[in-house]
Structure 1
């Protein structure tokens, strides 16, 4: 399929909510939107595909917004579908501009020229990363390191396989935040796991590696099964749960002062 690629930055690629927040966190939602500008002709997908999880993380932005408000901290969110460019992937990643997502071929991403790929990198990835970098820089200017939390959602059934995990707490080389969370979560409310349903080996921790690890910022990537955040009440309940477990984890130990370490699987 041939589509006309727009110029380098004709659309807003990133939005910052509560930029002056002083709560000590930086929240991130890379896959917040399923918007595909009309020039891309929905990348050749049908309406149901564009609304589905392959285009975004349903419910993730709603939860992230509630956490940003609860902790009075900035939230950096993507404004365009991850099918155009996945801002949680570096430009060299094979799935940064996915040709296939789950079992779905993306016609508008086939056989892209170097120039077409560069336009998406320049117009989506770079503005997102520069904005997040500026927010992190501002947050690290204080006497105390901020905490980074990225919010995602995942499908209950993936390639025909049901997933038992309900909330995943992911980390890369720095496991401090996740260690603290799993120490205070008793598993009574949700089925939780470390580095599930994905882990760093799946290439999903780019934001943590690029923005948190270099500054030794304690970090966690939260994956929520999206059938648990469909309604407004479910979103509110999930946000309340995450607020509670994060607050307890922060109170549990001053892990910001600890040396980053890799945690064992759980």
Structure 2
């Protein structure tokens, strides 16, 4: 069930909580989904066409539905972001240059050119990561898995991305390497720190997993494979099996 604390029960659409927490069983897997939502609060003007928010620059297509399905199948807790990455990218350090992007995959975001950066951090970034920190304390997870999706190609360069799924990691490979092996054994085209490297962009897991010595990995699924309910169901089955096996292998 979702967290029902006062901060998570606001009825004002301009001041929704920065995170949704789904509770689950303790001592297993914690799921995170930084880019779950393309929501833009009504009091924030990005200056972009609404249709852009339905593209990858607005959120990770299919990632929220996949995270919810995995949470149900694994009986796992999860934390999901509730605002578009164009408002603030929750998967960046507070001082990162693209935290509040003025340009995203070739699209200008004029409303972000002059913005009160500390206010956005205070309103969205700090409370989102506080919810994750609390979940780590409450559940003491043995494995943290971040769920993302990626585009078959970037609009800015047009290059094809051949992978069906990628597993990303920084220094801790305890979860990532077995997951890559398992997915490749299923015949899936699996990226090893592709379509980008977790050694370069791994902010959430660096902070909430690796810093605490908790095994972790980021799972990137190509978004055309999880753009509908059938695709989500198929990949939830695939990833449930992989995550459960990685968790069991870590426990040995």
Choose which of 60, 79, 82 in structure 1 pairs with 2:63.
60
CA contact (8 A) 2:29 2:247 kept: no
CA contact (8 A) 2:18 2:127 kept: yes
Choose which of 85, 88, 93 in structure 1 pairs with 2:88.
85
Per the alignment, in what secondary structure is the counterpart of residue 26 of structure 1? strand
How many residues end up aligned between the 2 structures? 237
Could you tell me which runs of 5 or more consecutive residues in structure 1 were left unpaired when the two chains were aligned.
Answer: 1-8, 256-266
Taking structure 1 as reference, are residues 51 and 186 closer, same or farther at Cα in structure 2, changes over 3 Å only? Answer: closer
Choose which of 149, 155, 177 in structure 1 pairs with 2:151.
155
* Alignment TM-score, normalising by the size of structure 2: 0.89
Choose which of 172, 175, 184 in structure 1 pairs with 2:173.
175
Choose which of 8, 22, 26 in structure 1 pairs with 2:26.
22
Q: Tell me what 2:197 maps to.
A: 199
CA contact (8 A) 1:27 1:150 kept: yes
Per the alignment, in what secondary structure is the counterpart of residue 15 of structure 1? strand
Taking structure 1 as reference, are residues 186 and 155 closer, same or farther at Cα in structure 2, changes over 3 Å only? Answer: closer
- Note the 1:11-160 alignment, pairs <5 A: 11-17=16-22, 19-22=23-26, 24-41=28-45, 43-112=46-115, 116-140=116-140, 145-158=141-154, 159-160=157-158
- Cα offset, 1:251, TM superposition: 3.2
CA contact (8 A) 2:143 2:247 kept: no
Larger Rg: 1
* Alignment TM-score, normalising by the size of structure 1: 0.85
- Cα offset, 1:22, TM superposition: 2.7
Describe the superposition over 1:9-56 as per-residue Cα deviations: whole angstroms up to 9, x where unpaired.
833211101x24236111000000000012223x01012212111010
2:91 and 2:149 mapped to 1: Cα distance? 13
Could you tell me which runs of 5 or more consecutive residues in structure 2 were left unpaired when the two chains were aligned.
Answer: 1-13
Taking structure 1 as reference, are residues 253 and 29 closer, same or farther at Cα in structure 2, changes over 3 Å only? Answer: closer
Does 1:222 find its partner at 2:222? no
- Cα offset, 1:127, TM superposition: 0.4
